[in-house]
Structure 1
């Protein structure tokens, strides 16, 4: 999959990582970039084609797919962070996390898979998280939804291999975006996330782990979980 000459669609392109995707795709030679958001008026990137899209609304997904049949690179970036926990959290907020990260991403893949096949296969990029691999008190709904999206990414990859569609999952820790503004730890530059993701697509990589912290979290899955959660369980 070559970025130069591609026709891309980016969800959640009005800010953060999605905005960087739209900008860098243009810089790296994409022939067309559909930049989508629930409020497309909030997209301020010169050179993109703005499009209204709410990935939690099947009708909105269908309308977007009908208007963008030339896409050969789909970037599933749109997300939400409610801060809900699972046992005591608001169920509507928990459902919103799942409706966005799992069902919304699944809806986009189901709508665009036939278009990608018709356009030669192309690629799908799912922006995931290190929180796909661990839970954190205060964001457990997000962790559960991202874990489901990770599993979705792996399953869709197997199903779409027969049509020559690459499915790349991108994992990162905290990025310097509005979503993580309250987080006080180290943050990854969103532009670095996108560069790594696009390089991974061009290299045909199934998974891109952006930062060393995320790589360490993934490595911990092979060990006793008590090692990872020791401090959290003791508090």
Structure 2
């Protein structure tokens, strides 16, 4: 997938990672970038950018975006949400929002744009995943579960779209210095550098882009017993006395 001359659509493009994708795609020679967002007034109007109003949880809005962006050759599913909900006792409506955004939103975007990509020669899809696709934390179980489902979706649609020559890439990263992570006092990656790696990966045909060292280490740990990643949950650690 070559970015020079490409037409890209980026969801969640008004800030953070999305805004970086728009900027860097233009710098790399994209002919047009559709900046799709629920808040179109927040997108900077610059040459080469066409703003679309889009909520990925709204099927009619997805259909309208697809109708308006028939020349798309690269779809970047970046839109996200973070409701900080536990699964056992959290707000079910907010838990559903995580799935509607990360899983069903991504799936519906893929379903809407797959025929467009096929008509335009195959193109590519990049799904913004997370290290939390592979690792759960108490307090954000809804987000972790939705991102895990989106990772599975990414692998599945890659298989389904190979015959139409659509490249499907997953971008996995830990904490990124964006508004969504503003309340977390943890090391954070520079969104500019993460997007650079993602776009390099698209052009190189990489199926999974691991954007930081922590994510690389985490993936290598997935082959170990779960007690390595979750040492406090093993029954052998529980006390049988009060």
- Corresponding position of 2:169: 168
1:196/1:208 contact within 8 Å kept: yes
1:64-213 aligned within 5 A: 64-213=65-214
2:7/2:73 contact within 8 Å kept: yes
Q: Tell me the CA shift for residue 46 of structure 1.
A: 2.1
- Looking at structure 1, the residues matched to 181 and 156 of structure 2 have their Cα atoms a distance apart, in angstroms, of 28
- Corresponding position of 1:34: 34
- Structure 1: 4+ residue segments shifted above 6 A: 232-235
3-state SS of 1:120 partner: coil
The unaligned stretches of length 5 or more in structure 1 are: none
1:215-226 aligned within 5 A: 215-226=216-227
- Looking at structure 1, the residues matched to 198 and 12 of structure 2 have their Cα atoms a distance apart, in angstroms, of 16
1:133/1:218 contact within 8 Å kept: yes
**Could you report, residue by residue, the CA deviation over 1:29-81 in whole angstroms, capped at 9, with x for unpaired residues?**
00000001012111125231111001000000000000000000000000000
1:23/1:45 contact within 8 Å kept: no
Residues 118/134 of structure 1: CA separation in 2 closer, same or farther (3 Å cut): same
- Looking at structure 2, the residues matched to 156 and 192 of structure 1 have their Cα atoms a distance apart, in angstroms, of 27
Q: Tell me the CA shift for residue 170 of structure 1.
A: 0.3
- Corresponding position of 1:18: 18
Q: Tell me the CA shift for residue 224 of structure 1.
A: 1.1
**Could you report, residue by residue, the CA deviation over 1:113-171 in whole angstroms, capped at 9, with x for unpaired residues?**
00000000000000000000011011110000000000000000000000000000000
- 47-56 or 109-118, which deviates more: 47-56
1:58-69 aligned within 5 A: 58-69=59-70
Matched residues, number: 235
3-state SS of 1:22 partner: helix
- Looking at structure 2, the residues matched to 141 and 45 of structure 1 have their Cα atoms a distance apart, in angstroms, of 35
Residues 156/19 of structure 1: CA separation in 2 closer, same or farther (3 Å cut): same
TM-score (norm 2): 0.95
3-state SS of 1:79 partner: coil
RMSD between superposed Cα atoms in Å: 1.3
Larger radius of gyration: 2
- Looking at structure 2, the residues matched to 75 and 161 of structure 1 have their Cα atoms a distance apart, in angstroms, of 17
- Looking at structure 2, the residues matched to 188 and 133 of structure 1 have their Cα atoms a distance apart, in angstroms, of 18
1:177/1:190 contact within 8 Å kept: yes
TM-score (norm 1): 0.98
Q: Tell me the CA shift for residue 231 of structure 1.
A: 4.9
2:227/2:233 contact within 8 Å kept: no
The unaligned stretches of length 5 or more in structure 2 are: none
